[in-house]
């Protein structure tokens, strides 16, 4: 069993490293001058900077991939997990709550080796290219808040899942899946109201021509939102975005303050129309259904592995335990799901095309959306020449050229 697991993990790593090097070679091959398709998008200096930024991020990603693989292999095969499980049982007993603590603590420990690279990315790479606006103090506060939320929200969910193993017998995985689905739906309501304000400040868009224009677009498209809010994304980064969150009476439109600074009113309206397009085409519920089906399959596979002694012996455990099965499954699932990412991203890009088409129809023209996409690509130093295979594995959105071509057809 161990050779099979090692093969799966190493195949994934090899594919990721190959994809990264393939993309780097493709970017370098187009680095000498602005490709003809982008001469109207960026000037020579900005394009050169975007190439440098892409290659710098690629170098860091190569290090991250290798380091994450080393950490995972050490965690899985060094005997750390059986030791940690035995230590937790000696300290806290063998109750479901103790098992939930084991899963959470190991999850936290596994994430710690990645902190230095995350720090480097924020305060060296992003700083070098002018994107970083956060402070070390705020960076650590964000991580402390994230840890607190993981404990506050993750512990009850894990405990409930482990309780279902006791209560429901062989059908526990169905109940666990239902619990996870209910938790995700609850988060759709709570996140905009309770969680997101812990990290960012949200203020109502001031009265004026922009607010009037966006509200008129919402009325025109029959998109009812509780409010249009501005998020202070600039306190962490100069990258920009827009989204809507929540549902029903809790739905609200959110614009990054950096986005408002970068785009004209017509372009901001086009971006909002794109987000409304996702709502009108029911992309979010469709993706939630797909995610729910995927997690259902995952829980079923987990239920099969959870009773297989060979699965646990491969990692040094003497006997099966549901908490151990949950942890191992979480650590190993990426070795399988990685190979399905092109399909997931193809589906996501298809929805992006549909949202773009809706925005062009709602605006009565495509120029404003094209202008917004070009500015965002320029301001964010986006990779304008990704290798097609690389973008298939990693890009949830079409490239700028692909989106412009689709809008021109429509």
pLDDT beyond 90 at 352:
yes
Using alpha carbons, select from 224, 232, 229 the residue that is nearest to residue 243.
229
Q: Does the pLDDT value for residue 249 go beyond 70?
A: no
| Residues 166-180, mean pLDDT to the nearest whole number | 95
Taking the CA atoms of 267, 272, 275 and 280 in sequence, report the sign of the dihedral they define: negative
The pLDDT assigned to 247 comes to 66
DSSP E strand boundaries for 232-365: 242-245, 252-256
pLDDT band at 36 (very low <50, low <70, confident <90, very high): confident
The single residue of 126, 275, 378, 404 carrying the catalytic annotation is 275
Identify the band that residue 165 occupies on the pLDDT scale cut at 50, 70 and 90: very high
**Distance spanning both ends of the chain, measured CA to CA:** 52
Return the pLDDT at 408: 84
pLDDT score for 227 = 73
pLDDT surpasses 90 at 162: yes
**Is the distance from CB of 278 to CB of 351 less than 8 angstroms?**
yes
Q: Does residue 37 register a pLDDT over 70?
A: yes
Confidence of residue 188 (pLDDT cuts 50, 70, 90): confident
Label residue 260 exposed, middle or buried (CB < 10 Å: 0-12, 13-18, 19+). Answer: middle
Greatest Cα pair distance in the chain:
68
The C-alpha angle 220, 225, 228, rounded to 5 degrees, equals 100
Per DSSP, 191 falls in state I
For residues 36 and 128, the model is more confident at 128
Q: Are 231 and 256 in contact (CB under 8 A)?
A: yes
Residue by residue, DSSP assigns 303-322 as: HHHTT-HHHHHTTT-SS--H
Which three-class secondary structure string do you get for 118-130?
HHHHHHHHHHHCC
Burial class (CB within 10 angstroms; exposed 0-12, middle 13-18, buried 19+) of 288: middle
3-class secondary-structure state, position 237: strand
Query: Averaged over 338-357, what is the pLDDT?
Result: 97
pLDDT average, residue stretch 179-197: 90
What is residue 189's predicted lDDT score, i.e. its pLDDT?
A: 83
| Percentage of the chain lying above the pLDDT 90 cut | 85
Q: How confident is the model at residue 250 (pLDDT cuts 50, 70, 90)?
A: low
Q: Which of 64, 267, 352, 356 is catalytic?
A: 356
> Average pLDDT of 202-222?
91
Residue 399: Cβ within 10 Å count: 19
Per the annotation, the verdict on 257 as an active-site residue is no
Residue 283 has pLDDT above 80, yes or no: yes
* Side-chain half-sphere CA neighbours of 122 within 13 A: 18
Distance CA(55)–CA(61), nearest Å, equals 10
Q: What is the pLDDT of residues 58-82, one digit of tens each?
A: 999 999 999 999 999 999 999 999 9
Position 223 confidence tier, pLDDT thresholds 50, 70, 90 = confident
What is the number of residues in the chain? 410
Residues 246/272, Cβ–Cβ less than 8 Å: no
Angstrom distance (rounded) from CA 379 to CA 372: 10
Q: How far apart are CA 215 and CA 202, in angstroms?
A: 18
Q: Tens of pLDDT along 114-123?
A: 999 999 999 9
Least confident of 7-11, 70-74, 187-191: 187-191
Task: Give 199-234 as a DSSP string.
Answer: TS-EEEPPSSHHHHHHHHHHHHTT---S-EEEE-GG
Does residue 142 have an active-site annotation?
no
Torsion, CA 87, CA 88, CA 92, CA 94, rounded to 10: -110
pTM: 0.92
pLDDT band per the 50, 70, 90 thresholds, residue 96: very high
Within 10 angstroms of residue 360's Cβ, the number of other Cβ atoms is 22
Q: Average per-residue pLDDT in the chain?
A: 93
**Residue 400: what pLDDT?**
93
């Amino acid at each position: 069993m161990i050779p099979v697991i090692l093969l799966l993990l190493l195949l994934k790593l090899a594919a990721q490293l190959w994809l990264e090097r393939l993309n780097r070679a493709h970017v370098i091959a187009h680095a000498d001058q602005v490709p003809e398709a982008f001469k109207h998008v960026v000037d020579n200096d900005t394009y050169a900077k975007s190439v440098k930024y892409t290659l710098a991020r690629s170098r860091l990603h190569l290090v991250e991939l290798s380091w994450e693989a080393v950490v995972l292999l050490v965690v899985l095969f060094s005997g750390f997990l059986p030791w940690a499980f035995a230590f937790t049982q000696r300290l806290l007993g063998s109750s479901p709550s103790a098992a939930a603590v084991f899963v959470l603590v190991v999850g936290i420990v596994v994430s710690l080796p990645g902190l230095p690279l995350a720090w480097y990315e924020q305060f060296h790479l992003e700083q070098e290219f002018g994107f970083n606006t956060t402070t070390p103090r705020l960076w650590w506060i964000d991580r402390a808040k994230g840890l607190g939320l993981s404990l506050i929200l993750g512990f009850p969910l894990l405990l409930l899942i482990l309780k279902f193993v006791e209560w429901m017998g062989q059908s526990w995985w169905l109940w666990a899946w239902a619990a996870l689905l209910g938790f995700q739906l609850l988060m759709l309501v709570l996140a905009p109201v309770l969680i997101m304000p812990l990290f960012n400040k949200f203020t109502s868009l001031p009265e004026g021509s922009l607010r009037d224009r966006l509200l008129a677009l919402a009325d025109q498209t029959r998109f009812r939102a509780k409010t249009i809010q501005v998020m202070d994304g600039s306190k962490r980064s100069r990258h920009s975005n827009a989204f809507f969150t929540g549902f029903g009476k809790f739905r609200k439109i959110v614009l990054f303050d950096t986005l408002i600074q970068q785009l004209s009113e017509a372009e901001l309206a086009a971006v909002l129309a794109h987000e409304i397009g996702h709502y009108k085409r029911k992309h979010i519920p469709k993706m939630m259904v797909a995610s729910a089906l995927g997690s259902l399959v995952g829980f079923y596979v987990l239920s099969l592995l959870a009773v297989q002694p060979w699965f646990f012996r491969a990692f040094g455990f003497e006997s099966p335990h549901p908490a151990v099965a949950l942890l191992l499954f979480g650590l190993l699932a990426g070795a399988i799901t990685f190979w399905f990412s092109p399909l997931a991203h193809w589906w996501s890009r298809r929805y992006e095309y549909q949202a773009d088409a809706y925005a062009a129809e709602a605006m009565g023209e495509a120029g404003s959306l094209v202008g917004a996409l070009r500015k965002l690509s320029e301001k964010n130093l986006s990779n304008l020449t990704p290798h097609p295979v690389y973008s298939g594995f990693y890009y949830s959105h079409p490239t700028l050229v692909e989106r412009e071509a689709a809008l021109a057809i429509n």
